[in-house]
Structure 1
């Protein structure tokens, strides 16, 4: 069994189509894949699924915890669930409004064309990553990282704060839609160990059920520490590359440290609500 339960298509901030992801997953000999676009559900029914690959319905939801932006992966969601779809529509509207406000600030600096750039893309969930891509493509920044630092981080010249729902609300909507809430890439939030444990405690209190213990670029020692936490707190464990583009050599679908054997008993596919969509 070779899995990847966290990746992105061009419907959010990935660079490739869902069909490209399926073909690449098959090439990389994956058996199970979840496309988890930001605040966007991929319509799996329209995809040509390669033989031997099982798709898992998923999403990644942005939320707020103690003024920190946190990401939750929802797996095994019912993609037609009305409350979930209403929630997603609200998230997408908030994202569009945020980028539109950023566009207004850019225009005051003499930088025009962001909204036209976005309109030409297939994405349903607009992100700051798209803005950075625009700034680089138009020659206003040399690199993606520099675009974020100069323009898009809280200290940046066109920063607009996001208005995300609370952690417990995001977990609740995933559960209402029959899904399993997973705390995505826990070590990427620049939290102290004490604050990370506090986040995980609040996640559990809100009925979150799993954490990612392995993902693209993670240090194996950090993965081991996350496995320790999961086992101590009786959380399910998940893993995924967080793949966005084939241009990044350090990550690929299925490219991350394997879940440690001692934690397999807590693997998310052992959850009572786990099921798969076959071709």
Structure 2
């Protein structure tokens, strides 16, 4: 089993179509693929006929915990669920409003056309990465990194604070849609260990069930620490490439550290919901969560 449970398409800030990502997964021998676009969840029936790939409907919801922006992945969500779609629609509106505010600031600085440019793209969820690409394309910045540092981060000239939902609201919407809530890339948040542990306490109390413990560029010591936290809080372990762009040399669909045998026994493929959607059999468990 090779499960990539976190990747993106051009429906949010990915560079490729869902079909491209699916074919890339097949070429890389991925057996289970979740497409988890930012604040977007749409059914992908074109993959249902594949015998070598199981497709999982997913989503990645941007939300707030205390003063921190965090991301919660939902796996096996029903994309037609009213509760979920109502929340995602609200998030998408907030994203467009944020870009409109950035557009006004950018126009005042002498560069117009951001919002119309982004609205013409296939993206349902507009992101700061789209803004960064516009800045580069219009010679405002030489690359994405400079765009974020100079313009889009908190001290930047175009900074607009995000108005995301609370983490409990995101978790409940995922569960209402029949999904499994998973905390995405915990090691990337600017938190010390005490804060991260507290986040997981709150996440679990809200109904969170999984923790992403394997993703690109994760430090080995963080990987081990996340496994310890998962055991402490009774969370399943998830894996994902967080794929966005085939041109990025550091990532690809299915590219992430493999969980060792002991950690794999806490794999999210042992969650009861997984079994309801997938007739393939994961390895036998060593113990019950």
Equivalent position SS for 1:40: coil
Q: Report whether the alignment pairs 1:34 with 2:34.
A: yes
Of residues 103-112 and 257-266 in structure 1, the stretch that sits farther from structure 2 once superposed is: 257-266
Please, what TM-score do these two structures have when normalized by structure 1? 0.97
1:237 and 1:267 in contact (8 A); partners too: yes
- 1:189-228 aligned at under 5 Å gives the runs 189-228=189-228
Instruction: Name the residue aligned to 1:243.
Output: 243
Find the aligned partners of 1:267 and 1:277 in 2 and give their Cα distance.
14
Structure 1 stretches lacking a partner, 5+ long: none
- Where 1:266 maps in the other structure, the secondary structure is coil
Q: CA deviation at 1:117?
A: 1.5
* Cα separation, 2, equivalents of 1:183 and 1:261: 22
In the other structure, the counterpart of 1:276 is 277
Contact kept, 8 Å, 1:81 with 1:177, in 2: the verdict is: yes
User: Which residue does 2:14 correspond to in 1?
Assistant: 14
Aligned to 1:124: 124
Are 1:106 and 2:103 matched, yes or no? no
Where in structure 2 are the equivalents of 1:19-98 lying within 5 Å? 19-47=19-47, 50-98=50-98
Show structure 2 runs of 5+ residues with no match: 280-289
Give the alignment's Cα RMSD to 1 decimal. Answer: 1.3
Q: Which residue of 1 aligns with 2:284?
A: none
Which region of structure 1 is more displaced relative to structure 2, 136-145 or 267-276?
267-276
2:270 and 2:232 map into 1 onto residues whose CA distance is 17
Q: Return the alpha-carbon distance in structure 1 between the equivalents of residues 205 and 47 of structure 2.
A: 37
1:58 counterpart SS class? strand
Instruction: Give the match's secondary structure for 1:24.
Output: helix
Distance 1:168 1:47, change over 3 A: same
Return 209-218 or 43-52, whichever deviates more: 43-52
| Residue correspondences, number | 278
SS at match of 2:57: strand
For residue 115 of structure 1, what is the aligned residue in structure 2? 115
| More moved, 151-160 vs 256-265 | 256-265
- The runs of at least 4 consecutive aligned structure 1 residues that moved more than 6 Å come to none
| Aligned mates of 1:128, 1:223 — CA distance in 2 | 28
Verify: 1:133 aligned to 2:125, yes or no: no
